[in-house]
Structure 1
């Protein structure tokens, strides 16, 4: 495609290439008419290629091909700055010439691209001021849409009934009818594709068969403007080197990178973009897995102090005193950790396990092995409630003798100054071999005598920077053990935690009772609300205790779920701790019950006192926010009532449910929701009620949620850094790519013989991403 394929905004339709027009003379049209951009775009392909410089064309500035005023809107809308960024802006789908896209399902207030046929063109004067309105009616055979142009009568010469075209703009509503005001468009002129004798030309056949790429677009840059710009970029940039070695491509029947780029942006038939997608998807997985495996190599190349338990030492004494036998999974994972700690390279292991499967016990045994070698361990917990509970449970399970020798120490931000100073002294002197704390452990004032192990509890609650800050407090790289009770699907583990060794605990300790989960659907069954209180009272009558969890403290102070979809509407007033507390205390069914609140606005001392009283059986019902989500262990608590359960994510609901059924009494979980059937919010609640299998729920959660950025600090929600790869659907492909990447790195660890792959890694991973991988 040459420069003439990018016409000025005011040009008439060009016969033979399909007519085009743009909306009002705004950014979209201006981007193609500025003199500097026209000069750049008028260069020959060879001249544009030379303008890219001597390095990789993928690293060149996009403005060198398109001009600054054209490249600017692309950077603003899509963060596209280089030729490589532009070529990775793949079409979101493909249309066909003559395809009539449904108009009766268009989303209001969104920019759309549609294919339709012009039905009528009318012009009328404006009532309130001088000028005219041109109204064009288009249809797909099922719906009608109006195009509106102000003071642009000349467009009636372009927009004629019977012509088909591609139209883009923001869908708005005027007098109960949908319309596009001043849309951009491009018309398909079939007459130019006929031979002189009236027969259909070969050119026409190819033109009719070729899929039309539909790009993610904005109000300032339409899909076909991006298509036209892409043609210029392809012409200048291709061919490019392929990061996937030829042998790997051949073994999988993949096309090379240049062919794939041509096929996905300028397909002549469906098979072109299908082959291109397969090849580009594998390349994306291959480059990502190579980066993770390289980081794994780098981590293993570091030096650490080997930590081995002594005969007759802390760990052996602890194991002898245990009143129960470890589960098979606990023993297996413990052996894996013991082997890691014994190496002179840092352990980087993720232990995932069901709620209540004994991950903390496994971590404690690792801490004792480190203490045997003279080292210290730091356990980073997400909340003060959980940190304080960890301290109490560790002291209890160690017993008085080991506790006195190891001196477990708590360090949180709300401790009294005198207590905090004592804790800091114990840490820096090495007197405390086990330190438990919150984010306060990351403070510059915290120093260790010999930090040998970092344990991060509930890793999803911490950012990469926080984990790294604690790791750097070791004189030498400490061993790192990451715990999560949020099971991770295999594909996510390979993609996000591919540089970590992963252990899994699925076996629950003997004696655990089951948990029965029920949805209380108040949208369909409002009369069931009273049964919530009656059922709770029945459990209290048996001498048991209950949690009520609310998504907010009071109407203006919310503690939102971490894993809700962004932008989900809050259609009704949420249940709050203050309202539910008042309702519970006033309910006759709970007369005489001791009911208290627990939430994040209470002081550290108040929260700790409340949790201790609840654990001691001095409180019957705890009305709380998600501060009790993780780690809280009260064996006598049998009932969990989650109010407005649809306001929580799948993993949070599974975590909350895991707070009951931890002792010898069966658990009951009531998920109270106003969400209606067949909504995404209700699907989440129903999914949790359908199974106790956290790994199954993790997969469901992944399928219900958008994939987050698998590299960089935005690991959940928001826009994914993945282009074509999808961790839900492409698990097998990711596994194959990892195997191929491992083979390449085994034969060429430094990638000296694979410069294209080395360059691709440099482009794929900017400094932020590399820092993320180094800290993971």
Structure 2
């Protein structure tokens, strides 16, 4: 097969040319033939049904009608210029209107001819009207050939449409590519896998996704292409894991030494939960095998991931190595630094912080200590990956919220030692199992699914706007007990589009209900300078103010055990994972804590599910599963930046069974044939160095 044909620049395709190629590249990221083949329709319309003009109603999504063209004229000037045509069938008359492409449409219209018109019907001044309909001359031939029973609809834009690259135009180009390449399309999966799961050949799948003959052929084509997409993600990830297991050496942490034991016996301020102990044992086991550890630790807000990370770092130090922790923001890095300093006391282990704000003089001292090995633990942001940061012997890298860092950024840390350091990834965003399988398929996964002893579950209450007095009563009661309250608003200023309670209005209401000097406020939002934000936060942390009125800026980076109430205004406007993260800001002390979800009375079905879920459960993993079902993977925090979820067709919230079958198949392949040397796996082996038919695998060295 000639793979180069699939890489042919799109301008060489019949019907494209330089101008159309430029717009396809800019608007649809279609650069080559293979990009067009994987530019899949996003929905399909049943074109077998015809309506009469009198039968068609505006509540129908789209209608198809046979009409005879009676007249047409261009009226108006400049911006108000439009083309109006009148057509009819034996039931009524319909008006067809165009505001764009007027010259081209006018040139092609033919009076007294019968047309198939297709589009969204509306009524204007009591008359049936259709704006910018799809139109084609009626003939028995084009009913069977031009109107598929299931017509694909492709994503298009105004600019694409100006070059006649609407659904019909894109479909025509796709037909040209398939006609040219049909005989060159080979299967990408071994034949026995196609048989086992009753999948199409790759050629059939591409034909039927773009030109389905019926719903059955479409379903099978979609299943095949989804399986292929998820299969190759798993193949790449699990091969990477296999290579790491057998080919990448890892430092051996052979002993549990003085630092670890002294901390555990004398400095640890609370007993470890069974979940924390289990995860530490898993890390201990990983670091004794002589291969590089790559482990993901998932744990809800407040589950004690930081202590697990610290004890892992002490394990590295006891074995003569240094450790570092990389966080995505200065706020988080600084919080980790202060948390670890507080746990370690003063001089037990030397620890330092490196961020973009670290002064040149401080950096010089820090770099010297790092190179000599005197500095045991370095906490920082992206600044850690700079070439000037040189460790004497880096043994463990802890990465907080991995999905915020690119692959190349992480790899730079691994190269800072002759033998790659062990890698421990932490995330406080509970990730659904299927998403973890796709995002972190090459990592071993540990879960801290237990809260520290003495923590009471947060009580979550949903109140409507009409029940605001109950909310004020709870706030006053908790403040009288010496506790503090968060109030979170989604906006800072009025929005003409969204009727939301905003922070400034809220402050006015609160000032009347909670007058000075008895009650004091901190106000924190994104428009404050970093210095002012820190000042306001610190007042609240020190207990100088009782109520923090804030936007979601407090979602990360604030830890106030004395805060016992979280009030979220317009809670229906927040996503589930965001609500859960905000709720996690309270419940950090031994006292009972509360989360109050305030909402309007009119709620969408999805908003009701979100708020009911929050009231029913505190389990972050259950919440993340529901969030995935409601929003899809692209919206879950961070996954869009990860790059790995650039899926063309598969949707892991809907295609969990396909994902599991694909992963199971890959595991079986590597168990039987780890080097892909068997004849039946030669197609797969080729994919590690070749890109073809729209599927790409990077070569793994």
Distance, in Å, in 2 between the alignment partners of 1:639 and 1:378 is 35
Q: CA deviation at 1:487?
A: 0.9
**Residue of structure 2 in register with 1:55 after alignment:** 3
**Deviation digits for residues 196-224 of structure 1 (CA, Å, limit 9, x no counterpart):** xxxxxxxx6x9998543333344231223
**Aligned-pair distance for 1:95?**
3.5
1:465-504 aligned at under 5 Å gives the runs 465-504=408-447
Aligned position for 2:290: 344
For 1:636 and 1:340, how far apart are their aligned partners in 2?
Answer: 38
Does residue 738 (structure 1) correspond to residue 663 (structure 2)? The answer is: yes
The answer to whether the Cα contact below 8 Å between 2:326 and 2:381 also exists between their aligned partners in 1 is: yes
Alignment of 1:726 onto 2:679: no
**Partners of 1:512 and 1:664 within 8 A in 2:** yes
Secondary structure of 1:639's aligned partner: strand
Q: Determine the C-alpha separation between the residues in 2 that align with 1:715 and 1:502.
A: 21
Cα contact 1:581–1:595 (8 A) shared by 2 = no
In 1, the alpha carbon distance for the partners of 2:496 and 2:287 equals 48
Q: Is the 8 A contact 1:309 1:372 kept in 2?
A: no
Quickly say closer, same or farther: Cα 1:584–1:212, change in 2 above 3 A. closer
Q: Tell me how far apart the structure 1 counterparts of residues 508 and 364 of structure 2 sit (CA, whole Å).
A: 40
Q: Which has the higher contact order (CA 8 A, sep 6+)?
A: 2
Is this contact kept in 1: 2:329–2:381, CA < 8 A?
A: yes
Check conservation: 2:521, 2:549, Cα contact below 8 A: yes
Q: How many residues align?
A: 679
1:112-127 map, 5 Å: 115-118=64-67, 121-124=70-73, 126=75
Distance in 2 (alpha carbons) for counterparts of 1:142 and 1:375:
84
Give the equivalent residue in structure 1 for 2:618: 692
> What is the match of residue 678 of structure 1?
604
TM-score, structure 2 as length reference: 0.84
Q: Distance in 1 between matches of 2:623 and 2:692?
A: 31
C-alpha deviation, 1:335, in angstroms: 1.3
Asked if residue 404 in structure 1 is aligned to residue 347 in structure 2, the reply is yes
Aligned to 1:266: 211
User: 1-side partners of 2:642 and 2:350: how far apart?
Assistant: 38
Distance in structure 1 (CA, Å) of the matches to 2:75 and 2:532 = 68
After TM superposition, the structure 1 stretch with the greater mean CA deviation from structure 2, 245-254 or 450-459, is 450-459
Contact persistence 1:584–1:595 (CA under 8 A): no
Looking at structure 1, the residues matched to 131 and 23 of structure 2 have their Cα atoms a distance apart, in angstroms, of: 20
Residue 104 of structure 1: aligned partner = 58
Aligned equivalents of 1:422, 1:139: Cα separation in 2? 86
Name the counterpart of 1:649. 575
Distance 1:128-1:64 versus aligned 2 partners, 3 A rule: closer
SS at match of 2:453: coil
Q: How does 1:292-303 map to 2 (within 5 A)?
A: 292-300=237-245, 303=248
Q: Is residue 2:185 matched to residue 1:232?
A: no
Question: In 1, distance between residues paired with 2:522 and 2:394?
Answer: 39
Does 1:222 pair with 2:162?
A: no
- Superposed CA deviations along residues 213-272 of structure 1, whole A, max 9, x for unmatched, are 333344231223333322222222123221110111111122211222223333333322
Asked whether the 8 Å contact 1:87–1:230 carries over to 2, the reply is: yes
Aligned match for 1:660, one of 563, 569, 586: 586
Would you say the 8 A contact 1:309–1:368 is kept in 2?
Answer: no
**Mean Cα deviation higher: 634-643 or 216-225:** 216-225
Residue of structure 2 aligned with 1:538, choices 448, 454, 477: 477
**Does 1:329 find its partner at 2:275?**
yes
Between the aligned partners of 1:68 and 1:767, the Cα distance in structure 2 is 23
Q: Matched residues in 1 for 2:388 and 2:106: separation?
A: 72
Pairing partner for 2:488 from 541, 549, 555: 549
Q: Deviations over 1:619-652 (max 9, x none)?
A: 4223344443235333222111223434533212
**1:561 match:** none
**Aligned equivalents of 1:462, 1:500: Cα separation in 2:** 15
SS in structure 1 at match of 2:320 = coil
The aligned runs of 1:737-756 (5 Å cut-off) are: 737-751=662-676, 753=679, 754-756=681-683
1-side partners of 2:607 and 2:651: how far apart? 22
Q: Which runs of 5+ in 2 are unaligned?
A: none
Structure 1: runs of 5 or more not aligned: 1-52, 108-112, 194-203, 557-567
Partner of 1:378: 324
Aligned to 2:197: 252
Deviation digits for residues 587-612 of structure 1, max 9, x if unmatched? 43675234323456667676666655
Q: What's 2:32 paired with?
A: 82
